[in-house]
């Protein structure tokens, strides 16, 4: 004979009784069973055939009972036990493998480029499908003309160009006096073989000399200026040929430190003694030289000293 703890039979935890309750009830049931057995024995004695005893589960808290007409033994079930404690949370499972990446979709058709034409203002677009399209003229309308700006100031006048080359000498005229009534410019050596009359003054170039070994070229000018920077030695060159006269003036400006001069040996000074230069800073001495023998002898004259 099988006895279950709950209405649902074996495994019905909601109706299972506690062990102590089941034990107590089992004692009662055992007693009742003994009584039932005795009754069954008596019944068996009077019965013409043996009956089968069937056990059933009664309501909680009730007493065990036997129904002789159905041969059913009713055993009360125990009280529902208390809910057990919650079990510990299980460990987290490992992460699953990441799925593979899907296949990339095909590239759709689209515009591939464009060009702009400046003289028409049109933009032309090209595309993968060969359709493309072009815009109209995207240039805006021409604006109105602005007002004229203020005229700029006149630029500085450029430097005067170099003097052109001298023209060829004219043919000699018939003998007689030359008469120059207008401004004339003579470049280079000129020879006047007859009387020449100048109505106005004669302007000559003054050449500035430099250095301490200085050449005075009489073919270049007849007036010279030299601001001394050290002890200086002069050389005279290119005088007129013998029988013609050459003369020139020389202005000497003394340095902050008195500088000495070495004159050419061909210079003949009065009494054979060269003048002593002014020693003061920026002191000016002027000398005149004259030769008629092609520079064999230059006569030297002191025109003035300490002129500053």
User: In terms of pTM, does the model score above 0.85?
Assistant: no
pLDDT > 90: percent of the chain:
33
Q: Tell me the domain boundaries of the chain.
A: 13-76, 195-304
Q: What is the pLDDT of residue 4?
A: 46
Tokens at 157, concatenated: 């006048």
Q: What is the DSSP letter of 272?
A: G
Q: Give 89's contacts (C-beta < 8 A, 6+ positions apart).
A: none
Whole-angstrom distance, CA of residue 235 vs CA of residue 249: 14
Residue 300 has pLDDT above 60, yes or no: yes
The pLDDT tens digits of the residues spanning 98-144 come to 888 888 877 766 777 888 898 888 888 888 777 778 888 888 888 88
**In 139-248, where does DSSP find H-type helix?**
none
């Amino acid at each position: 004979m099988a006895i279950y703890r709950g209405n649902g039979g074996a495994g019905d935890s909601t109706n299972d009784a506690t062990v102590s309750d089941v034990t107590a009830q089992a004692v009662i049931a055992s007693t009742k069973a003994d009584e039932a057995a005795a009754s069954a024995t008596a019944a068996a004695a009077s019965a013409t055939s043996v009956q089968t005893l069937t056990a059933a589960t009664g309501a909680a808290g009730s007493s065990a009972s036997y129904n002789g007409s159905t041969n059913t033994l009713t055993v009360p079930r125990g009280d529902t036990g208390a809910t057990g404690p919650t079990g510990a949370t299980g460990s987290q499972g490992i992460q699953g493998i990441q799925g593979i990446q899907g296949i990339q979709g095909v590239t759709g058709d689209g515009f591939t480029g464009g060009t702009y034409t400046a003289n028409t203002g049109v933009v032309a677009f090209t595309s993968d499908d060969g359709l493309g399209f072009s815009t109209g003229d995207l240039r805006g309308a021409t604006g109105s003309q602005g007002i004229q700006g203020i005229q700029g100031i006149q630029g500085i006048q450029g430097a005067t160009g170099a003097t052109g080359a001298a023209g060829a000498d004219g043919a000699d005229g018939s003998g007689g006096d030359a008469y120059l009534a207008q401004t004339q410019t003579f470049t280079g050596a000129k020879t006047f073989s007859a009387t020449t009359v100048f109505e106005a003054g004669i302007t000559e170039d003054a050449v500035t000399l430099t250095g301490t070994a200085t050449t005075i070229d009489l073919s270049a000018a007849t007036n010279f200026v030299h601001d001394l920077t050290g002890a200086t030695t002069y050389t005279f060159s290119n005088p007129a040929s013998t029988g013609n006269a050459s003369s020139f003036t020389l202005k000497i400006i003394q340095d902050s430190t008195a500088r000495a001069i070495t004159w050419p040996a061909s210079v003949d000074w009065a009494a054979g003694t060269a003048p002593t230069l002014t020693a003061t800073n920026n002191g000016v001495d002027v000398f005149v030289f004259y030769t008629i023998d092609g520079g064999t002898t230059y006569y030297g004259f002191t025109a003035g000293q300490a002129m500053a």
